[in-house]
Amino acid sequence: MKIRLTPLNVISSILLVAVAWLYIFADDTGWRRLGAIPLIVLWILSFIADIVFRRYLKDLKRIWIVELVFIIFVAILILIIQST
């Protein structure tokens, strides 16, 4: 099995570190732990999407393009949801 670095792989690792950071350095009120829930959801989404894209796309260049488009799409959706 080849180890291939993909954008969603990088995003997943950054989200996992952010969740660990919020749990390790939580404040007294507990709001940081509550704020980690959306990050956990995003981590699960990016991890599953990465596995699906790796399964159906074999070419690494195509995986990068599709995953970057997916990341941009999710970022735009998040911005639209926050503005409403």
Q: What is the pLDDT of residues 5-46, one digit of tens each?
A: 999 999 999 999 999 988 888 777 777 778 888 899 999 999
Whether 54 is in a domain gets the answer yes
How many domains in the chain?
1
Whether 2 is in a domain gets the answer no
d(CA 2, CA 25): 35
Q: Model-level pTM?
A: 0.80
Type and span of the H or E element at 70 = helix 60-83
Q: What is the pLDDT of residues 44-72, one digit of tens each?
A: 999 999 999 999 998 999 999 999 999 99
Whether 1 is in a domain gets the answer no
Rounded percentage of the chain residues whose pLDDT exceeds 70:
99
CA 72, 73, 78 angle in degrees (round to 5)?
95
2 three-class SS:
coil
d(CA 81, CA 67): 21
